[in-house]
Amino acid sequence: MPDTLPLRLDVTNLSRSFGGRKVVDGVSLSVAAGQVTCLLGPSGCGKSTTLRIIAGVDRADAGEVRLDGQTVAGPGVHVPPELRSVGLMFQDFALFPHLTVAENVGFGLRLDRAEKARRVGELLEKVDLGGFGPKHPHELSGGEQQRVALARALAPNPRVMLMDEPFSGLDNRLRDGIRDRTLDLLKEAGTAVLLVTHEPDEAMRMADEIALMRGGRIVQKGAPYNVYNAPVDKAAAAFFSDVNVVRGISRGALTETPFGAFLTPGHADGAEVEIVIRPQHLRIDFDRGGRGPNPTPEDGVPARGTVLRSRYLGRESLVDFAMDFEGAKLTASVPGVFLPKPGTVLWLMIRRDRCFVFGV
């Protein structure tokens, strides 16, 4: 994150327990102006509770929340939610049904009539709903309602926007377009955004920084590229895609496997390690009459497998293999259409530069 951008949201060491169970456990994060941080993790890991504490609708047992440098929650401090001037957007964004679109967007604005009408008109144009002002929410599609909610959240020009699964009520076809439009508008306004999601694709698409959460803690923070390509552990790798695992024993910083030797520095002699590889980084080659391929050193040693099942998923094909060694099962994905018949014998190689090694 560039140092020059002012920090809008700064959270240190937040903790919260319910019934003796810590659901938020020492969470720290910060978001600068114009940046999007995605709090990503499985259901129940404490994302929403973190967001609710920052919004001020719940209180932490410990820790501090600062907005634009001002402490709004901390020891002896609790600024009520309505005075925190943060924008909020939740999955059930609940527009007021009896108010028009324009009245919904202008609801919280303390401006004179003409100024309010101008601001509402400008926001509706921005979310591509110019002319929708007199309509009522029930006359709008889900996607249009979502954009009204976005305009309403943006109306007071909040410096920080907190969003909890704001796109999950939309059907897939609409979702990508609305996500991109929302991102453009928030960036344009220089808003600092903390977005909660359980969908890795959404986080990869929206985030400048991903904070991966598990069991109440942030286990990894970084740019999407780094979190995807340098996961801290097997569970972090597996949160983003299916993974294949090959086990071995590290000896002299090397682990021998049916795919050849892997460098495993930092693992004790005799320690069990897991070599973790995403399906798209397994290389498939043909049998060539039983002779197998002739791989580069980066590809390691080829291992033979028999196709169990092939599936076409649109953008890619998934091929499941039963390997000749130890009855292991591995899955490879290939771009486009590749559907070898069950029983076909092929060779697999593991790209050395794309695998992750973890202690067991």
Candidates 30, 49, 104, 182; binder of ligand ATP (CB under 6 A) is: 49
Complex with ligand ATP: residue 78 or 118, whichever CB lies closer: 78
Q: Quick one: 47 or 126, whose CB is closer to ligand ATP?
A: 47
Q: 53-58: long-range contacts (C-beta < 8 A, 24 or more apart)?
A: 53/14, 53/16, 53/24, 54/9, 54/11, 54/86, 54/162, 54/194, 55/81, 55/84, 55/86, 55/88, 55/162, 56/80, 56/81, 56/84, 57/81, 58/16
CA atoms of 308 and 86, how far apart (whole Å): 53
Q: In the bound complex, what is the minimum distance in angstroms from residue 189's beta carbon to ligand ATP?
A: 26
Residues binding ligand ATP: number (CB under 6 A): 11
Our CB check for ligand ATP shows the closer of 81 and 293 to be: 81
Residue 46 near ligand ATP by CB under 6 A: yes
Residue 49 CB, shortest distance to ligand ATP, in Å, is: 3
Query: Is residue 44 close enough to count as binding ligand ATP by CB under 6 A?
Result: yes
Any contact of residue 20 with ligand ATP (CB under 6 A)? no
Edge-to-edge strand list for the sheet holding 7-18: 21-32, 7-18, 62-67, 70-74, 77-78
With contacts defined by CB under 6 A, name the span among 36-44, 68-76, 79-87, 275-283 that binds ligand ATP: 36-44
Q: Which of 15, 30, 37, 48 binds ligand ATP (CB under 6 A)?
A: 48
By the rule CB under 6 A, 59 interacts with ligand ATP? no
Query: By three-state DSSP, how is residue 100 classified?
Result: coil
- CA dist 254 and 260 (Å) reads 10
Residue whose pair of structure tokens reads 């197998």 in the numeric block: 292
For the purposes of burial, counting CB atoms within 10 Å of the CB of 171, is it exposed (0-12), middle (13-18) or buried (19 or more)?
Answer: exposed
166 binds ligand ATP (CB under 6 A): no
153 exposure class (CB count in 10 Å sphere: 0-12, 13-18, 19+): buried
Report the residue from 43, 80, 112, 138 that binds ligand ATP according to the rule CB under 6 A: 43
Least distance to ligand ATP from the beta carbon of 210, Å? 15
Strands 244-251, 21-32: pairing kind: unpaired
Figure out which of the listed residues 8, 179, 198, 267 binds ligand ATP, where binding follows CB under 6 A. Answer: 198
Q: Which among 272, 240, 255 is positioned nearest to 360, based on CA atoms?
A: 272
Contact flag: residue 131 with ligand ATP (CB under 6 A) = no
102 DSSP assignment: H
Binding ligand ATP (rule: CB under 6 A), the pick from 29, 45, 102, 348 is: 45
Q: Are the C-beta atoms of residues 169 and 197 closer than 8 Å to each other?
A: no
Q: Dihedral sign, CA of 232, 1, 241, 336?
A: negative
Nearer to ligand ATP, 20 or 327 (CB): 20
Judged by CB, which is closer to ligand ATP: 91, or 344?
A: 91
Closer residue to ligand ATP (CB): 48 or 182: 48
Rounded Cα distance between 277 and 241, Å, is 10
Q: Does 18 bind ligand ATP (CB under 6 A)?
A: yes
User: H or E segment at 24?
Assistant: strand 21-32
CA 152 – CA 87 distance, rounded (Å):
9
* Residue 163 lies near ligand ATP (rule: CB under 6 A): no
Residue among 9, 14, 23, 206 that touches ligand ATP (CB under 6 A)? 23
Decide: is 225 part of the binding site for ligand ATP (CB under 6 A). no
Binding-site ranges for ligand ATP (CB under 6 A): 18, 23, 41, 43-49, 198
